[in-house]
Amino acid sequence: MGKKNIKILLAFLFIMIFLSTCIFSCNKNSFELFQSLDDGAEDVSGNDIVIEMDVKSKEFFLESKEKQKNKSPLNDINIRKAIFYGIDRERIVKELFGEYGEVLNSLFSKGSYYHNQSWREYDYDPDKAKDFLSKAGYGVDNPLYITIGSIDNSDIKQRIEEMIKEDLEKIGIEIWIFNKPSEEWYQDFVAAGNYELGIWSIYNFDGSDLNSSFSSEKIPPLETEQNKNCENFYWYSSSDADEILKNITAKKDDKERKELFGQLQDTLADNAVVLPLYSRLFSIAYNNRKIKKIDIDIKKNKVFFNIENWRLSEEAEKDGIEESEVIIGCGGESCSPRDLFNSNFIRDLISESLWETNEAGEYEPVLVEETYTSSEEYIENVPNLEVIVLLRDKIFWQNGEPITSEDVKYTFETIVEYIDNMGGDKDYSKIKEIEIIDERRFKVIFNEYSEDWYKLFDTIVPRGSLAEKEIDNITIGDIIANGPYKVAEYREGEYLLLKKNEFYSGVESGVGNIKFLFDSDINNLIGMLGEGEIDLLSVLFDLDLMRDLEEDKNINLLVKPGNLIEHLAVCLKGTES
């Protein structure tokens, strides 16, 4: 089997490894957002031509902006604070999400262990906004001209921009909205620092990505092979924030980390770098005639993570748990082996990792019983540090074969051999080798120790499984599970059926079979849910739809904040905070 085919196959089987990869890519050949406009024009006779412009026109806006003495107005913290106080976030959330939404004053969702109300001080206060703007020399009679941008295919973001524009015009800030196609916006504007105000979301569950977003060492031009994930698209530089971020990395105690994350958010709020708006809502509708209780893991936006806590109704259980079946609507016409390992689909039903992170970002063992070092010396100062991992006893693949140290070694070495750059923040070069001790124990020998080395083992496959078939012959049925369910049947374009894995050693689910019914028309799925033809459906939040679903007595609706944080970003390129 050629290296090319194995690379493609690994892309299928290890899709979760790429989930933390930044969606932005840096473009060093960026262009300027604004071009200077001539103060006037001249005809062939040499006479000046007087051009009258509409005060609401782009030309008038750009000319007025060009005449501003302050060419980097967002360098002034008074202006940034004027903007933050001048935006009515309550109005934004109410108009978009009604009774389901809530203003977010943190970089973590409300249910997070690290949630901290650092941005509460920026409650809507137009008078205070005017006072700050006045300190910078601007006001209603002498407006400040700045731009705001985002992607051009999001109705929600465009509605947010319009509301921000209305709010800021009241205090003396004129806004010009420019939106671009997604790839162009993120590459040529966000990553290149070619914007002033921007709207996008960041994924933040345990705070592990905040260093990449706010460290002064992570400004895009500083990215190298050694300094990856430079995602500080705010171009923010603060020695206080840098110190806090370094301390967070060094601390293991969750209480100390919580205090430090609070300090970091307080610092960012005080510097007025980002303004959180809300957590994107996560919504599940389910048939209460079939399902009595569901337990959704909101901290990771995972539907099936806690399926062992689900309960069926008495009517659904009368034929026995093993014979019961839950039908889940799935938007789309089909799925692929890669989809099975997507964390937003069914990965947690078919696959378990060596470790999982909890709400505090700590790694907790799943397939591992114990981890210990063979040295009493301080970890970071010991070259070639050796860590011994002991796997749990009686853990199996779906075919009854035990999960062993050889499987772990095989998976890791295959990744290292055939994939040059895994992307994201996973640096496999920190590990020198995996040494087998016995069937349940293996030794991790480091080139350089990292506190989060556990994430390099977020999936395993059986030894030899990656070389058994050519990529063209790989099917969903070839996936070997170690989770609570296994693939039983798949009909492309129709459905995917999962049955319980009888060799699963964890807590048994209260749900028997799980059937995914594919349909690319979400309206069809919603109708099928109402008719009881499917039992559960994950839906994108729509205020009118949520209210309609609430009125159906046979449907229960679960709406909770997730970990995508929608926010207003301020670009400080070329400035110092």
Which domains are present in the chain?
55-280+566-570 (3.10.105.10), 352-466 (3.90.76.10)
CA 248 to chain centre: 20
pLDDT band at 32 (very low <50, low <70, confident <90, very high): very low
User: Does the pLDDT of residue 20 top 80, yes or no?
Assistant: no
Cβ neighbors of 302 (< 8 A, separation 6 or more) are: 296, 343, 344, 348
Q: Convert the pLDDT of each residue in 402-446 to its tens digit.
A: 999 999 999 898 877 765 444 455 778 889 999 999 999 999 999
User: Does the pLDDT of residue 28 top 70, yes or no?
Assistant: no
pLDDT band at 378 (very low <50, low <70, confident <90, very high): very low
More confident of the two residues 447 and 34:
447
Closest CA to 260 of 181, 166, 358, 360: 360
User: Does the pLDDT of residue 40 top 60, yes or no?
Assistant: no
pLDDT at 439: 96
User: Does the pLDDT of residue 400 top 80, yes or no?
Assistant: yes
pLDDT at 262: 97
* CA distances to 8, 20, 185, 393 from 25, in Å: 22, 13, 11, 43
User: Does the pLDDT of residue 260 top 50, yes or no?
Assistant: yes
Q: Which residues pair with 537 in a beta bridge?
A: 285, 329
pLDDT at 13: 44
**171 neighbors 130 (Cβ within 8 angstroms):** yes
Q: Report the sign of the C-alpha dihedral through residues 259, 264, 269, 270, in that order.
A: positive
pLDDT at 555: 94
pLDDT at 50: 41
Q: How does strand 431-436 pair with strand 441-446? A: antiparallel
More confident of the two residues 478 and 554:
554
Dihedral class, residue 35 (left if φ above 0, else alpha if ψ from -120 to 50, else beta): beta
* CA distances to 158, 181, 199, 497 from 177, in Å: 9, 14, 11, 47
pLDDT at 474: 63
Q: Which amino acid is at 556?
A: N
Q: Convert the pLDDT of each residue in 501-560 to its tens digit.
A: 999 989 888 888 999 999 989 899 999 999 999 999 988 889 999 999 999 999 999 888
Q: Convert the pLDDT of each residue in 279-289 to its tens digit.
A: 999 889 999 98
What does the pLDDT average to over 335-339?
63
pLDDT at 336: 65
Q: Convert the pLDDT of each residue in 79-125 to its tens digit.
A: 999 999 999 999 999 999 999 999 999 999 988 899 999 999 999 99
Phi, psi at 268, each rounded to 5°: -65, -40
What does the pLDDT average to over 28-49?
34
Q: Convert the pLDDT of each residue in 175-212 to its tens digit.
A: 999 999 999 999 999 999 999 999 999 989 889 889 99
Phi, psi at 444, each rounded to 5°: -100, 120
- Which class for 36: exposed (0-12), middle (13-18), buried (19 or more C-beta within 10 A)? exposed
